Amino acid sequence: MFIACASPSLYLLLVYFINPRSLGIDPVEVLLAETGEWSLRFLLITLACSPLRRLKVKRLARYRRMLGLYSFYYASLHLAIYVSGWIQFDWQLLVEDLISRPFIYIGMAVWLVLMVLAITSPKAVIKRLKKWWLVIHRFVYVAAFGALVHLWMQSRGTIDEVLVYGALLFLLLAERIYRSLTSRNPVQKRSAT
């Protein structure tokens, strides 16, 4: 599973360093687009683990933490490629981009949320945070929505891709809301009687 999750990045980086022209006219832009989308894909796969477990597809749920960390890995790779390949460490250009291209600060906000989720994912931290861990990790939906908006605003993703990712996110969020509402009703009924 570890190798399968890492293989898209290994392939992209290998092709970039061996024959960058095979990625197209602008290899850096291809790397940016691919790593960003892989981060969003892993985020959606991570969110799908719990509903799949409830549908008795339990195997993937064992890897939920690792899948979430891979989402952060691809987001970090995306950010590193932006800083090193796109703006080439030109911090003035970064400030200009932040002012003129709002999808950049949305992307950075998503990366910060994913970083907090990654930092709070080890078992020792979960034990220390107790109930606060659940509160913090609900921000995964904010990160997924922000990543979707980031993809849509930068117009690298086609509208079809954005709609597919958006529909998946909507279904995952709707399932969570439905489960939350249906699990509360029996408790409310019991307390009323």
Confidence at residue 21, expressed as pLDDT on a 0 to 100 scale: 87
Q: Closest Cα to residue 110, out of 158, 157, 74?
A: 74
- Is residue 49 a contact partner of residue 172, using CB atoms and an 8 Å limit? no
Q: Which two tokens stand for residue 110?
A: 């998503």
Q: How far apart are CA 158 and CA 54, in angstroms?
A: 32
User: Would you say residue 169 has pLDDT above 50?
Assistant: yes
Mean pLDDT value of segment 35-58? 91
The answer, yes or no, to whether residue 162 has pLDDT greater than 70, is: yes
Q: Which domain holds residue 93?
A: 2-192
- Between the alpha carbon of residue 121 and those of residues 23, 84, 125, 133, 147, the distances in Å are 34, 28, 7, 9, 20
pLDDT of residue 191: 41
pLDDT at 56: 81
* pTM for the model: 0.88
Mean pLDDT of 175-191: 69
Is pLDDT above 90 for 145? yes
Residues 107, 77: contact at Cβ < 8 Å?
no
Please count the structural domains in the chain: 1
